[in-house]
Structure 1
Amino acid sequence: MTPEVSVIIPTYNRRAMLLVAIDSVLAQSTQSFELIVIDDGSTDGTGEQLARLGKAIRIECIEHRGPAAARNRGVELARAPLIAFLDSDDLWAPAKLELQLAFMRSNTDCAISQTNEIWIRNGRRVNPGIRHRKRGGDIFIDSLRTCLISMSATIMRTDLFRSLGGFDESMDAAEDYDLWLRILIDHEAGLLDEPLVTRRGGHPDQTSATTPAIDRFRILALTKLLADNRLSPTRRNAVVDVLAEKCRIYAGGLRRRERIDHAKFYERVADGSHQWRADEFDCAAKSMRSTLREISHGC
């Protein structure tokens, strides 16, 4: 029987947290799902631990390539018309899938939805800021400065994910921000305003802790977006404004670190973005990937 949703958990060296995350999926009040765990080259015994869990879970171990590649591989294996992602440091409430699947059945035009969430940082509950408040509907412009869709709270149509090419595997961070914006050009986001996900933060291996200056990847995402001919004039102007703002801030940081040539590149993007054509942004995105690699390697 074809499952209603494919649940995909990517993981890398989080054996203890992963097992708790898996338990939260297996404890769901509906069983109309398949669970796919992609071990992204863990070296902490995760693979051996997963091998003991039996046949209820589809497990694949791959060479370490990052969460974007791991999630994309999970979707390649998915058999269901819907996909749901769960980060290995997060948890689901028992009714999460049941309620969200019911929402997607009742809203057949909805391509992507999310639930609300509880934030835990360093073992203590915290309240997210107003700018992180979840909302439904047309959230494209609101999502430019702050990523308003959470990975572990999301369900989306599998065909849509595949049609957009999935996550950009060349991005070390903000690959979710990049994909959500590409989706939100054409689709509104559904929202179940119930906290059905526990988002656990504060541990040292989080991307926000291990990847400096994540805004450089958001800048790349915005530059790519401006090469997309689906943007309306209003949305294009909004993207340009945020791109210029982020480029100037990042360039200032590069100048403080005496990366003058790289700073000048981002300043040129900021200064020219209101006049550039889509093909010029495509060229800029290619140059930006090269620049990011150089900065990451300390050149």
Structure 2
Amino acid sequence: MAGISVIIPTFNRAGRIEKAVESVLAQDFRDFELIVVDDGSEDDTLEILRSYPQVHVLPQKRQGVSAARNHGAAAGSGELIAFLDSDDLWLPSKLTVQADFFANNPEALICQTGETWIRRGKRVNPRNRHEKPSGQVFERSLELCLVSPSAVMMRRSLFDAMGGFDESLPACEDYDLWLRIGCRHPVHLIDEPLVIKHGGHEDQLSAMPGLDRYRIASLVKLLENQPLTASQRAAAAAVMQKKCRIYANGCAKRSRDEEAEFYQAVARHYENGPPQSQTQKENSPP
């Protein structure tokens, strides 16, 4: 039994995985297990991982980052779960600071730390709209994902209760989970930059085109299935309609008329809020 299960999902990251792993092994908090799920890598990632006897390596066929994270969490034994993306790094005190937070706040279920952003090798300052809130994050997180997987630690009981990451989403799976959590529970912020977040490389999921269609799918699912308050429901419907119209306009400009019509219809459907009888399946984007 470990106090914290650290989960790293990875795919074809032979050039980066060593630094991520070593940043975990260098933690001054020692009561952890490190589980790395290799999601069907075709480069030397798996061979590099097997050179670390301290790491529990779980190879799987290519299933996506959600399945990899869920697989790793299911294999772990820690009461607390922390995730690290394989292109990010932790400072040595990251686990200690968050473990202390949970020890001092037994009612807390999830927290995240601050980050230092490195883009294409250069440090950048986040814009004001990227500033992380603390506590009730739901409405601010609808427009833009303000919770980072590499910065999060949560109680296993919460992860299990929420059903983990949605494996049907090839991207924006973190946006989806944080909204499902945030509509019910506060997400606490430890305002220390204990994560070095690297961005700007081509193999990031955030570089995929058309990401808003996955955010729209997440919002539809949220509106249909989650116990939202009236204000949460109104805010989620408004953001979903806005994203639908922007995405539909983009489809129309590219002569994807059928897709544009679909998203326009989804936006109209939620003008007066979602009918309670409508199912997620009937409204899920193609």
TM-score for both structures, normalised by structure 1: 0.93
Provide, for residues 29-75 of structure 1, a one-character-per-residue CA deviation record: whole Å limited to 9, x for no partner. Answer: 11011000000011111111211211x11111100111111001001
Give how far 1:227 is off: 0.8
Q: Give structure 2 stretches of 5+ with no counterpart.
A: none
Q: Could you tell me whether the CA contact under 8 Å between 2:78 and 2:156 is conserved in 1?
A: yes
Q: CA deviation at 1:284?
A: 3.6
Distance 1:278 1:41 in 2: 40
Of 77, 84, 87, the match for 2:85: 87
Per the normalisation by structure 2, the TM-score is: 0.97
Equivalent residues in 2 for 1:134-153, closer than 5 Å: 134-153=132-151
Which one-letter code corresponds to 1:103 in the other structure? F
Counterpart residue number, 1:295: none
Following superposition of structure 1 onto structure 2, how do residues 1-299 of structure 1 map, counting pairs within 5 Å?
2-54=1-53, 56-209=54-207, 211-275=208-272, 276-286=274-284, 288=285, 291=286
SS at match of 2:228: coil
Shift of 1:160: 1.2
Counterpart-to-counterpart distance in 2, 1:245 and 1:164: 27
CA RMSD of aligned residues (A): 1.1
1-side partners of 2:255 and 2:211: how far apart? 19
Shift of 1:218: 0.3
CA distance in 1, matches of 2:279, 2:245: 17
SS at 1:15 equivalent: coil
Q: CA deviation at 1:110?
A: 1.0
Q: Partners in 1 of 2:110 and 2:277 — Cα distance? A: 29
Per the TM alignment, residue 202 of structure 1 is displaced from its structure 2 partner at its CA by 1.1
Decide whether the 8 Å contact of 2:89 with 2:197 is kept in 1.
yes
Contact 1:219 1:243 in 2 (8 A): yes
Shift of 1:229: 4.4
Letter matched to residue 269 of structure 2: G
Distance 1:229 1:172 in 2: 21
Offset, 1:159: 1.5
Return the alpha-carbon distance in structure 1 between the equivalents of residues 11 and 199 of structure 2. 16
CA distance in 2, matches of 1:208, 1:182: 20
CA contact (8 A) 2:10 2:86 kept: yes
- State the one-letter code of the partner of 1:234: S
State the one-letter code of the partner of 1:265.
Answer: F
Give SS of 2:277's match: helix
Contact 1:223 1:281 in 2 (8 A): no
* Partner Cα distance (2:10, 2:281) in 1: 33
Contact 1:223–1:284 (Cα < 8 Å) also in 2: no
Q: 1:223 corresponds to which letter in structure 2?
A: V
The runs of at least 4 aligned residues of structure 1 exceeding 6 Å deviation read none
Where does the alignment leave 5 or more consecutive residues of structure 1 unmatched? 292-299
